[in-house]
């Protein structure tokens, strides 16, 4: 399954009122879909589960240490594709 398909399927699982067929790469998570930050975290968890690999999303979500105002499906898919071969982050005990 492509990253776009994985992401749109994950969004549809979090928001059952959305049809994944209507979602496009330029669809904005907050402005167009109304996803909350908790919704986005759930989407990221489902994407991680689907691809079977942990990805460190902080560089995407917190560029320069500041929360990102908006994120498109295509931007998330490109980030996932770019990081599929990266080493998995270490688990840090708290």
Quick check: 82 pLDDT over 90? yes
28, HSE (Cβ side, Cα atoms, 13 Å): 7
Confidence of residue 86 (pLDDT cuts 50, 70, 90): confident
**pLDDT-derived band at 1, boundaries 50, 70, 90:** confident
88 domain-assigned: no
Q: Token pair of 7, please? A: 């992401």
10-61 confidence digits (pLDDT tens): 999 999 999 988 999 999 999 999 999 999 999 999 999 999 999 999 999 9
CATH number at residue 15: 1.10.1200.10
pTM of the model: 0.87
Within a domain: 73: yes
**Is 94 a member of any domain?**
no
* Domain count across the chain: 1
Which residue range is the domain that position 33 belongs to? 3-83
* SS3 category, 67: coil
Query: Does 93 fall in a domain?
Result: no
Asked whether residue 15 is assigned to any structural domain, the reply reads: yes
């Amino acid at each position: 399954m492509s990253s776009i398909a994985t992401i749109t399927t994950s969004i549809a699982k979090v928001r059952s009122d959305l049809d994944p067929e209507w979602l496009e790469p330029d669809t904005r998570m907050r402005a167009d879909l109304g996803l909350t930050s908790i919704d986005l975290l759930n989407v990221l968890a489902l994407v991680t589960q689907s691809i079977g690999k942990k990805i460190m999303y902080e560089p995407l979500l917190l560029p320069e240490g500041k929360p990102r105002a908006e994120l498109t499906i295509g931007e998330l898919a490109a980030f996932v594709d770019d990081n599929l071969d990266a080493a998995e982050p270490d688990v840090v005990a708290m």
